[in-house]
Amino acid sequence: MRMSKLLAPTLRENPAEAEVVSHQLLVRAGYIRRLASGIYNYLPLMWRVMKKVEQIVREEMDKAGAQELLMPILQPADIWQESGRWEVYGKELIRLKDRHDRDCVLGPTHEEVITTIAKHEIHSYRHLPVNLYQIQNKYRDEIRPRFGLLRGREFIMKDAYSFHTTEDDLDREYYVMADTYKSIFKRCGLETRMVRSDSGAIGGDVSHEFMVLTHTHSGECDVFYCNQCEYAANSNRAESITPAATTDGKEYFSQEAIVETPDCSSIEALTKFLKIPPTLICKALLYIKDEKEPFLVLIRGDLEVEEVKLLNAVQAYEIRMANEEEVYKYTGTKKGYVGIGNWVISLKEGGVLLFGKEQSSMPLPTVVDFSVKELKNFVVGHNQAGYHKVGYNWHAPDLMEGHYKDVKLARLGDTCPECQKGTLEMTRGIEVGNIFKLGKKYSRAMNATYSTEDGKEDFFIMGCYGIGISRTAAASVERYHDENGIIWPIPIAPYHVVVVPVNTSDETQLALAERVYNELKIAGIEVVIDDRDERAGVKFKDADLLGFPLRITAGKKAGEGLLEVKLRTEKAAQDIPAAEVLAYVQQQLQSWNAEAVLTHA
């Protein structure tokens, strides 16, 4: 490829709207262009990168026995109504009507379509297990499309769906996919950790995310990871061991009492006023579930609620903190004074703890975080503005046993829940893929069955496995770049080599550059020649910005048949006789070794 012809419109400045490095560099280096919010053109260099990522994914999926197919983007609404997601998917689902006024969607994911295929085309246990995948555009009207390719409204995903007769077989495939994912990301040059995740809208019990740890401030979410073992988790899922409270409260309160606490609606104010540590406080927070049901959360004063954990704990679609009016309506007090001081604890069917007045017709379902279990002689709101109860102790610990939940946000420096030795550190992470055990969720909803060995009909047991192709490519830039530009790992670089004649009007330099360029091209090396009539400085800058792994320069020593060869990852260059350049390049490309790169990283 000739640079003079290549459509890679580089820019001098970072685009103003780009907040993260991958977005900045991909735009600046002429890889992508925005068409509308969250919608991008993949210009020729980007498309080459994407095809390489796709090819790695394809090869590894095929190796694992999965079969590639292609499903439609445009889907009828009725299958979404059948699965129940037409109602629950919300505004992220792009809905439209066709000319006959029939509802349609642009597929954000393909569980409904694949389950329909299985329902109609897979009749017998003899055809199971099967794993089907596609690499296809996805559409999600993300609330905040941002960070370029990391969170688009149109993006490319590899999605795979497996069908099984038993949970055990799903288990087996789940781990085959986990291994496949590890190989895929490693081949792309990315270090990932597999972390337990919350399964979000897709549902199902067990799921894991594959996170690229960026080790920079950029990335899409916070990841806690252990500095001693392999434990890692998204911050909205991470467990941790928090230091125990340093006091049993005896030194502060010798007996239970109600005390006046004016202007103490925050933990900070309360600790100052009572001169106690926040670990001696039980915070009581009122939430609203799915816009109708109030519930209470109890958590130690120094800790914060992790709302995704809480959402899962109460099995809601949506939760939010109650407003002043609601607080008054359900507890009779003001924010900051909600508590349990004069309430009793009871248990509802289904094991829901209820806190409320003895004769109350409306006791509040209550989520009790583990952190308050050990509290002794503590402080808690009294459901009366301006008052707290101090020196309080649980009066029904037996009833509460077995009902504690983990809804706290983990903190930096907490102890690792897995090895219980290391401490948790935090970095930004990018979720590049995930795997879910769906079980019978979709097959049951959509009545997709097969006949079992003993002639009965049963629902398929399913798994699903996604990889963001476009996000993976962007994650690589997020991970590998320097102040001058992108540094592509060899396996996904759009071209491997750029040949730069320093001065195109110098015939010797140009001739040698052309000779090497042709030689490499004929040998099957992916190479670009920067034949533009530009200053050397501009060409070198662009070569760095574009991120090709190797640069070969024909300069002053061209007359002696010497070329200067430089790796993008290194500062220094070396002179190599023209006749040896091909062998050198081949050796560099072949010796690329994921293991070495990753341990280096």
Q: Which residues bind ligand ATP (CB under 6 A)?
A: 109, 140, 142, 151-152, 155, 157, 200, 431-434, 466, 468, 470-471
Least distance CB 176 / ligand ATP (angstroms): 18
User: Going by DSSP bridges, is the β-strand pair 497-501/527-529 parallel, antiparallel, or unpaired?
Assistant: parallel
CB of 200 or CB of 278, closer to ligand ATP: 200
Which residue blocks in 296-345 are alpha helix, DSSP H?
A: 307-313, 324-331
CB of 317 or CB of 593, closer to ligand ATP: 317
Q: Which two tokens stand for residue 161?
A: 């769906």
CB of 431 or CB of 478, closer to ligand ATP: 431
d(CA 25, CA 10): 9
Least distance CB 36 / ligand ATP (angstroms): 14
CB of 197 or CB of 377, closer to ligand ATP: 197
The neighbour count for residue 360, using CB atoms within 10 Å, is 13
d(CA 220, CA 257): 47
CB of 199 or CB of 383, closer to ligand ATP: 199
Estimate to the nearest angstrom the gap between the alpha carbon of 442 and the chain centroid. Answer: 23
Q: Give Cβ neighbours of residue 439 (< 8 Å, ≥ 6 apart).
A: 167, 170, 204, 205, 461, 462
Q: Could you tell me the CA-to-CA distances from 33 to 29, 46, 240 in Å, in that order?
A: 10, 10, 42
Least distance CB 192 / ligand ATP (angstroms): 11
Length of the chain: 601
CB of 30 or CB of 433, closer to ligand ATP: 433
DSSP state of 241: B
Residue-by-residue DSSP string for 527-579: EEE--SS--HHHHHHHHHHHT-SEEEEE-GGGGGTEEEEEETT-S-EEEEEHH
Q: Could you tell me the CA-to-CA distances from 451 to 122, 125, 581 in Å, in that order?
A: 9, 6, 62
Is the distance from CB of 234 to CB of 197 less than 8 angstroms? yes
Q: Give Cβ neighbours of residue 111 (< 8 Å, ≥ 6 apart).
A: 83, 161, 202, 438, 442, 462, 464
Least distance CB 182 / ligand ATP (angstroms): 15
Least distance CB 482 / ligand ATP (angstroms): 25
Least distance CB 142 / ligand ATP (angstroms): 5
CB of 203 or CB of 422, closer to ligand ATP: 203
Q: Which two tokens stand for residue 413?
A: 């420096």
Q: Which two tokens stand for residue 426?
A: 């935090």
Least distance CB 345 / ligand ATP (angstroms): 36
Q: Give Cβ neighbours of residue 238 (< 8 Å, ≥ 6 apart).
A: 224, 410, 417, 424
Which residue is nearest to ligand ATP, using beta carbons? Answer: 468
Phi-psi region of 184 (alpha: psi -120 to 50; beta: other; left: phi over 0): alpha
Least distance CB 181 / ligand ATP (angstroms): 10
Least distance CB 305 / ligand ATP (angstroms): 20
CB of 471 or CB of 496, closer to ligand ATP: 471
Residue-by-residue DSSP string for 470-533: HHHHHHHHHHSEETTEE---GGG-S-SEEEEES-TT-HHHHHHHHHHHHHHHHTT--EEE--SS
CB of 157 or CB of 380, closer to ligand ATP: 157
CB of 69 or CB of 257, closer to ligand ATP: 69
Least distance CB 200 / ligand ATP (angstroms): 5
CB of 57 or CB of 276, closer to ligand ATP: 57
Least distance CB 468 / ligand ATP (angstroms): 2
